[in-house]
Structure 1
């Protein structure tokens, strides 16, 4: 596959940590001009300190429609949009669920994605693409993941619908399994490691994933000009066991 990212402009919302930062670094490695966005200036500064010279960053609250609209006016024309923004994951059974917290999570991961694509569309150049992010729990939920599974399923449906509506702009999504990122920072380090080991021992890979491995899926989708409306799964085989 030719190095088709050379000189392309890639916007990564949520690109300052975890999978988003890994995707930003990989895109830059393949010649892309990277723009990252986060809700805090500190995270933007930290990301820019390790991204190549020429990378840029902005702050925006992706739950706020006006801020999202203004963000894309600042960014201007570009080639690929990656949406990885999201808050901390919370695993709670329905009886213990805080509805307002759940609504906030949906606002970021689902409505945030819709608003981002709406205002990005006029800026996306010919042959560009959109890549959303979802999770394997949408296809194989477990106890305590009702909201997470619902959001993941919604993003998959959104991906297919937008691929039809926005054509010829390509729209795809990456479906990630359990990955070592900052999304479980609300847990203790020991608890987090215990969870990773427990889940990893049941996977076909024998371990959970890392952000760099998931980033490869975004790289593929940016360069795969004949692929649209698809969900690329990178889950260590969790859907098979």
Structure 2
């Protein structure tokens, strides 16, 4: 198992879904973890940090008390729908970029003085960046922009490392709850080569790899149960 003993990690979006699974796995690997988000409901052992990616004016004050960071993970973003292009709401599209893309950029800028010389940053995109679909254009462009950001930052911030994790359909709370959610995810899973969707705990191990593999930078790491095949 990957070890992060003695390391300090910030997980943005660490209070729910994929980010919370990353927080739990990172704590289990021995790190001190700051879980950032709009909720104070964090995993046991994590340090809560109030951050809203839609409010960059507050980033300076929010990060001022942070210690030197060895790793930063971004898993937060605005929830956007999947309309056909002709029906896409530009206000919703802009919100997606303001939070997940421009908010991430602004927070990385604010965090630069806090990053260790060999720190890593892990961004989160999604399978739609390279899987065209009807109704996928909003999410696809946002995720593709995130992957381009990761590759360019890997060049500019070196020797600090920057990688991107690209999940497929993942069984988080964004799909709702109860039997209807389970049936929907089971139906999606049945269409995939592995016969199931991705679990947050599966993805957490990929984030750990991105944090601990010292020779990896500028990479996009897919975990999508075969959706790209």
Shorter-chain TM-score: which interval? over 0.9
Q: TM-score, normalised by structure 2?
A: 0.94
**Which of 175, 178, 201 is residue 190 of structure 2 equivalent to?**
201
Report how far residue 73 of structure 1 moved: 1.4
Q: Secondary structure at the match of 1:37?
A: strand
Aligned-residue Cα RMSD (Å) equals 1.6
In the alignment, what sits opposite 1:51?
A: 44
Q: Distance in 2 between matches of 1:191 and 1:151?
A: 28
Deviations 1:177-232 (A, max 9, x none): 000112334xx755544432232112111011110101111000110011000011
In the alignment, what sits opposite 1:228?
A: 217
In the alignment, what sits opposite 1:76?
A: 67
- Of Structure 1 and Structure 2, which has the larger fraction of its residues in helix? 1
CA contact (8 A) 1:87 1:183 kept: no
Are residues 1:24 and 2:13 paired? no
**Which of 88, 93, 102 is residue 84 of structure 2 equivalent to?**
93
Give the length in aligned residue pairs.
229
Q: How does 1:209-224 map to 2 (within 5 A)?
A: 209-224=198-213
Q: Secondary structure at the match of 2:79?
A: coil
Deviations 1:73-100 (A, max 9, x none): 1223211000001122411112222211
Question: Structure 1: which 5+ residue stretches go unaligned?
Answer: none
Report how far residue 103 of structure 1 moved: 1.0
Deviations 1:139-176 (A, max 9, x none): 00211111100011111111100000000110001000
CA contact (8 A) 1:159 1:173 kept: yes
In the alignment, what sits opposite 1:140?
A: 131
In the alignment, what sits opposite 1:66?
A: 57
Deviations 1:13-36 (A, max 9, x none): 000000000000000001000001
Q: Distance in 2 between matches of 1:93 and 1:194?
A: 24
Q: Distance in 2 between matches of 1:82 and 1:231?
A: 14
